[in-house]
């Protein structure tokens, strides 16, 4: 389908595809097996300027937006969703600075992030605060010129690898989530350490670890926005990042579909290629139609966000929900088309099905996305009356 990309967008997509095919593909299976961070691919993305596609030119970026971010994420995820998330999670960690940071903070952090010299990460989730983000218990207490952080963030993507962390902590416990604020914490700050690397089902080349804060003292200038703005910052960040997760789903689904289509033409049973069976053709047709629909919705949501519209929660949630549910189905069907071979690690679709599952869980489970959409529908309907 033609999405009428501009010349620049096409260039970004082509470059990302080239990196995915030439640099990433040879490493995919090995890094999954070894659970090793894809630094080589990240460095190539950096030297090709792709970490800056969504950042303003004045901070060393390319001046694009969420749409450009989605294009790169999709191409990477076509070959490895784990690499896709390493890239996209850095953007997630950067968005609070981009959206709510002051000029000094932007000047200080964005150019290195745009150049890919530093990765970022986003720390919201805790052991007792998953879907219920309002239950965060990490605290930040003002002490003179500093804030002192205490608490533990759980399952943070890029933890240990990133240099810049945006972290949600309570500055006023008595107000609950209305007393939350967001802080920039740099790696190697005393009192800031990482938990062990989690062993995961999928996206195994990505790093998922705890952020542990023990009397971690950071300059008071590192607060993003004002005290108490934390929840708003986190929610607006997630709204803008969701099409990024959707494009992981679109890319991964497309990759699985491509493998399944190719395989179906090669595999012979009953004296003919299995692609000659209508049962297989129909499965491929459904996979293709759903993937394309997911892509169209994702691109539309991303473009809506880039247009400057502020009322985007519902569309962002729809893209994440739809594209990741599609991705789970499509990767499962790809394994089905591969038959027993699809279940084996020597073939790529086994990993793809493992990778797909996380997309329905992180950055808000798909149940939470439905809550967001449902609430928006009801609000809108109530307004009309």
Partner 1 sequence: MNIIVCIKQVPDTGSVKIDPTTNTLIRSGVPSIINPFDLNAVEAGLSLKDEYGGRVNVITMGPPQAEEALRNTIAMGADNACLLSDRAFAGADTLATSYTLSMAVKKIGDFDLILCGKQAIDGDTAQVGPELAEILGIPQVTNVSKLIEVKETTIVVEKELEDGCEIVEVERPCLLTVTKQVNNPRIPSLKNSMRAKKAEIPVWKAADIDADEARIGLKGSATQVVKIFEPLKRTDSRILQGDVDEMMTELVGELRKRV
Residues acting as catalytic residues: 363
For residue 163, the minimal CB distance to ligand FAD (Å) is 15
C-beta of 11 vs 377, nearer to partner 1: 11
Phi then psi for residue 182, to 5 deg, are: -115, 140
Q: Does 24 bind partner 1 (CB under 8 A)?
A: no
Q: Does 18 bind partner 1 (CB under 8 A)?
A: yes
Instruction: Indicate which of partner 1, ligand FAD, none lies near residue 201 (CB less than 5 to 8 Å, by partner kind).
Output: none
C-beta of 19 vs 162, nearer to partner 1: 19
CA 51/CA 69 separation, integer angstroms: 8
Instruction: Indicate which of partner 1, ligand FAD, none lies near residue 47 (CB less than 5 to 8 Å, by partner kind).
Output: partner 1
C-beta of 87 vs 183, nearer to partner 1: 87
For residue 99, the minimal CB distance to partner 1 (Å) is 23
Residues in the chain: 385
Instruction: Indicate which of partner 1, ligand FAD, none lies near residue 62 (CB less than 5 to 8 Å, by partner kind).
Output: partner 1
Instruction: Encode 283-301: b = buried (16+ Cβ within 10 Å), e = exposed.
Output: bbeebbebbbebbbbbbbb
CA 110/CA 54 separation, integer angstroms: 11
Q: What is the 3-state secondary structure (H, E, C) of 7-73?
A: HHHHHHHHHHHHHHHHHHHHHHHHHHHHCCCCHHHHHHHHHCCHHHCCCCHHHCCCCCCHHHHHHHH
Out of 6, 11, 285, 311, which residue is the one contacting partner 1 (CB under 8 A)? 11
**What residues does 153 pair with on adjacent strands?**
211
> Segment near partner 1 (CB under 8 A), from 11-19, 153-161, 191-199, 251-259?
11-19
CA angle 216, 220, 226 (to 5 degrees): 115
Applying CB under 6 A, the residues found at the interface with ligand FAD are: 89, 121-125, 130-131, 155-157, 200, 208, 267, 269-270, 274, 277, 279-280, 336-337, 339-341, 343, 358, 361-365, 367-368, 371
Instruction: Indicate which of partner 1, ligand FAD, none lies near residue 274 (CB less than 5 to 8 Å, by partner kind).
Output: ligand FAD
C-beta of 189 vs 281, nearer to ligand FAD: 281
Q: Does 22 bind partner 1 (CB under 8 A)?
A: yes
The most distant pair of C-alpha atoms in the chain lies apart, rounded to whole Å, by 79
CA 319/CA 306 separation, integer angstroms: 15
Answer yes or no: are the C-beta atoms of 197 and 161 closer than 8 Å. Answer: no
Residue with tokens 């930040």: 140
Instruction: Indicate which of ligand FAD, partner 1, none lies near residue 50 (CB less than 5 to 8 Å, by partner kind).
Output: partner 1
Element containing residue 358 per DSSP (H, E)? helix 348-359
Residues interacting with partner 1, by CB under 8 A?
A: 7-8, 11-12, 15, 18-19, 22-23, 44, 47-50, 52-53, 62
């Amino acid at each position: 389908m033609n999405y009428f990309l501009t010349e620049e967008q096409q260039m970004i997509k082509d470059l990302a595809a080239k990196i995915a095919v030439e640099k990433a593909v040879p490493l995919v299976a090995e890094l999954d097996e070894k659970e090793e961070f894809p630094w080589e691919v990240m460095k190539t993305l950096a030297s090709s300027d792709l970490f800056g596609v969504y950042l303003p030119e004045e901070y060393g970026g390319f001046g694009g937006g969420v749409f450009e971010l989605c294009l790169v994420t999709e191409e990477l995820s076509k070959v490895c969703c784990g690499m896709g998330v390493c890239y996209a999670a850095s953007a997630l960690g950067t968005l609070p600075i981009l959206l709510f940071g002051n000029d000094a903070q932007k000047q200080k952090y964005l150019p290195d992030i745009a150049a890919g010299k530093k990765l970022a990460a986003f720390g919201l989730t805790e052991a007792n605060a998953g879907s219920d983000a309002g239950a965060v218990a990490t605290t930040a207490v003002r002490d003179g010129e500093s804030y002192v952080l205490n608490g533990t963030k759980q399952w943070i993507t890029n933890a240990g690898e990133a240099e810049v962390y945006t972290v949600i902590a309570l500055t006023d416990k008595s107000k609950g989530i209305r007393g939350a604020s967001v802080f920039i914490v740099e790696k190697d700050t005393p009192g800031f350490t990482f938990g062990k690397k989690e062993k995961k089902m999928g996206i195994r080349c990505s790093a998922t670890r705890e952020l542990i804060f023990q009397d971690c003292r950071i300059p008071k200038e590192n607060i993003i926005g004002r005290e108490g703005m934390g929840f708003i910052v986190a929610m607006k960040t997630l709204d803008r990042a969701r099409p990024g997760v959707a494009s992981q789903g679109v890319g991964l689904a497309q990759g699985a579909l491509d493998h399944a289509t190719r395989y179906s033409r090669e595999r012979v049973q009953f004296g003919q290629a299995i692609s000659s069976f209508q049962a297989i053709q129909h499965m491929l047709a459904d996979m293709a139609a759903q993937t394309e629909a997911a892509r169209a919705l994702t691109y539309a949501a991303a473009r809506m966000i880039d247009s400057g519209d502020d009322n985007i929660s519902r569309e962002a949630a729809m893209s994440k929900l739809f594209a990741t549910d599609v991705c789970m189905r499509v990767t499962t069907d790809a394994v089905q088309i591969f038959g027993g071979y699809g279940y084996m690690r020597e073939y790529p679709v086994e990993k793809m099905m493992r990778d797909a599952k996380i997309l329905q869980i992180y950055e808000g489970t798909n149940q939470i996305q439905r809550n967001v959409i449902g609430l928006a529908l009801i609000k809108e309907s109530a307004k009309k009356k």
